[in-house]
Structures are given as structure tokens and as C-alpha cells.
Amino acid sequence: MKKTKSLSAGAALALLAAGGAWYGAGQPGLLQFATAAEASAPPAAMPAPEVGVVRAAIREVSEFDEFTGRFEAVDEVAVRARVSGQLTAVHFEPGQIVEKGDLLFTIDPRPFETVLAEAEARLAEARAALKLANVELERQSKLSDRGHASRSSLDSAQQAAAAAKAAITGAEAAVERARLDLEFSRIHAPVSGRISDDAVNAGNLISAGAAGPALTTIVSIDPIHFVFDATEQQLLNYQRSAADGDIRAFLNAAPVAVSLNGETDFGHTGKVDFIDNRIDSATGTIRGRAVLENETGALVPGMFGRLRLTTASGVPRVFIPERAIGSDQAEKFVWVVDAGGTVSRRAITLGERRSGLRSVTGIEADELVVVDGLHMVGPGATVTARVAELEELQVASR
């Protein structure tokens, strides 16, 4: 019996030793079992990425059309001589402001003074001849009444008196013409404005009339015109908006403002004062014109600008931050987050830009638009939205 117990104890020790060796050898079966268990366990869920969103908001804005165009002077005059002669003096500095009536050029007046003196002498001669003719007419009338003069003598005296009177009228006209020529030898500014340089220097002989050279040019400064072209469709839109179809009254009441090259605001205000009477068949456009004040002379004829014509005020529009807008070739889009945190792509149409915001169509007010973390979103993605109001975003960006 003791021998049997000893054998059992030895067997037990042998089994323990073998198990220890198996364990020390790395337990390959146990490791495989543990690895399989771990592989079948579900992975831990990743948290949804956090993105910054802003709530689209409604703002009341003015609707407008923009046009490009150029400034033109209200008055632009090429100054030419009205009599021929030698230019003796120039009385202005190139580029200065002149007033209407200022003396600009002087043509040698001596030939015209001589002609005037001759015309005045002929007038005096004609008046003396009329006086003598009237005396003779009176004498012939008395003689005829007494029967001492023939009827033909009286008729001749009457004819001589009438001719002398007509000669006075012609002489007076000659004097007036000579006086005008003398006056025209002093050339005055026909309008107020900024003058160019002198195209003909003193000492030159100049010709009169439209065929002669322009001595200089003057352009008016204040007010000034801005000329632009509107499309046929825009003209039709204005006609539909105008009461009783009076498009000119509608446009005349519409505020306009002009921005120059390099300017970000439209600070030069005015109004439309002219719309042409036909559409150009070659371009499909109609010419319009606005008039603006220009007291400082900063607006120069020929200068390029952009005109904004306001067609409606207080129109509600949805605005979002401009940085939320993406581009895919010709399409503009934004990423919108719904109440469950799911992201979707939305195509939009752009409108007015204002202080870093953009009015859009395709988005409703209060919808959440992604502005931060755009690289972490895609169609159907789930995100955690960090919401900001449009006003908060604008304050933070200042």
C-alpha cells in the first residue's frame, strides 16, 4: 500500500513538472486562444471630429446692378479763332482753372481797328448823303406843290432819299461787323473749366473757323458725367419695376454711386439723368448717363470707374461667412450640418459681398454651415458641431 501511494505521488509530481515545462515553453495553444478572443472583440468607437459651424442669418440689403464706364465732361470745347491774324499773346497757364469770359488769346487788333475806322467813315458819309437827300426831297416837294417842278423830279428826289437811307443801314451793318471782328481778336473762355495747353504759340498766323487749328481745349469740372452701357435684359427689368412703365423717372430716382480704380467703396454719389432712345443693334446695349458732383475736381474726364445702381432697398437675404464657400470647377458649394450632426454638401449661388460675408441662395436661415475643420468633413460624415452666431464671428474677426 505504501508503495502504491508513492507511485501516485510520483506520477503527480511528473505531471506537474511536465505542465511547468509546457507553460515555460510559451503555452502556444493558450496564446492562440487568447489572440482569437481579442480579434473577435469589437473595436472601441472613435469620437466624432469637432468642427466649427456658423448659423446662416438674414440681413436686409439693397439690390443693385453694377456697370463699368468712363467719366465725360459736361462741357468740352475746342477753342478756335473767329478771325484770322497773328497771335500776339497767350493769357493763361496750361492746366489752370479758367472762368467763363476769361481772356485766353489776343490776335493783333490793328488790322481790325483800321477796318472799323473805315466802316465808321462810310457810315458818316452815308448819313451826310441822307441829310442832303432829305433837303433835296423837301425842296422838290415844295416846288411840286407850287407847280414849279415836274413829277419826275420829285420822284427822283424821293428815290435818292430812300437810297441814302438804305446806304446808312448797310454802313451801320459794316461798322457792327468790323466791331465784332475787333472784338473777336480777343479770344475769351466760352465755358468754365480746366484748360489744356496752348496748341499754337504767340507769333503764329492763325486761320479762322472750323478749318483752323484748335488753339486749346476746355473741359468743365463740376458737375461731371459718367457714361455706361446697360443690357437689353436690364432695361426690360427696369421697365417692369417702373411705375406706369416710366423707366426714366424710375432710374432718375434710383441712387447711384461710383467707385474708382483702387477704391473698395462706392463713395461718389449721383443720379441717372439720361437714357438713350434706342438699343445699339451691334452690341445689344443702351447708353445711360449719370451726373455727379465734382467740387474738388478729383473726377477727371476719361477716368475709368464702376457704377452701382440701386434698384431696391430693404430686401432680406441669407448671409454666410465667405470662407465657408468652396469651389468645384464652376460650382460653388458649402458643407451643411443637420440636427443629428450629419454633413451634406449643398450647391449655392453667390450674391453680394459685404464685410467678409456673402449673400447666397440655396441655404435657409438658421442652417449650420461649416467654417472651421473643413478638411475633416465629407458627404455623410458625422461631426460634433461647435456653433457660433454670425454676429460673434464678425466681432471676433475685427
For 326-341, write each residue's pLDDT tens digit. 998 889 999 999 989 9
Burial class from Cβ neighbours inside 10 Å (0-12, 13-18, 19+) for residue 368 reads buried
Of 136, 168, 169, 167, residue with least CA distance to 154: 136
Phi, psi of 183 (to 5 degrees): -65, -35
DSSP-derived secondary structure letter, 342: B
Domain boundaries for CATH 1.10.287 within the chain: 109-184
User: Which of 3.40.50, 1.10.287, 2.60.40, 1.10.3470 would CATH assign to domain 109-184?
Assistant: 1.10.287
Helix residue ranges, H only, the chain: 2-24, 28-40, 110-146, 151-184, 232-241, 247-253, 390-396
Confidence of residue 9 (pLDDT cuts 50, 70, 90): very low
So what's the pLDDT on residue 45? 60
Query: Are 230 and 285 a contacting pair, CB within 8 Å?
Result: yes
Q: How far apart are CA 191 and CA 58, in angstroms?
A: 51
> Residue 300: what residue type?
V
Distance of CA 210 to the CA centre of its chain: 34
So what's the pLDDT on residue 4? 43
Grid cell for residue 349: 449661388
Predicted confidence (pLDDT) at residue 187 exceeds the cutoff of 80: yes
In sign, the C-alpha dihedral spanning 87, 91, 96, 100 is negative
Distant-in-sequence, close-in-space partners of 27: CB < 8 Å, separation ≥ 6: none
Domain boundaries for CATH 2.40.420.20 within the chain: 52-59+317-396
More confident residue, 398 or 230: 230
Q: What CATH number should be reported for the domain whose range is 64-74+221-314?
A: 2.40.30.170
| 79-108+185-219: CATH architecture | Beta Barrel (2.40)
Phi, psi of 184 (to 5 degrees): -70, -15
Q: How far apart are CA 346 and CA 231, in angstroms?
A: 31
CB atoms within 10 A of CB 93: 10
What pLDDT, in 10s, does the model give residues 145-180? 777 667 777 778 788 888 888 889 999 999 999 999
Domain boundaries for CATH 2.40.30.170 within the chain: 64-74+221-314
Angle between helices 151-184 and 110-146 (to 10 degrees): 160
So what's the pLDDT on residue 393? 59
Let me know if domain 52-59+317-396 sits in CATH 2.40.420.20. yes
Task: Please state whether the predicted TM-score (pTM) of the whole model is above 0.85.
Answer: no
Domain boundaries for CATH 2.40.50.100 within the chain: 79-108+185-219
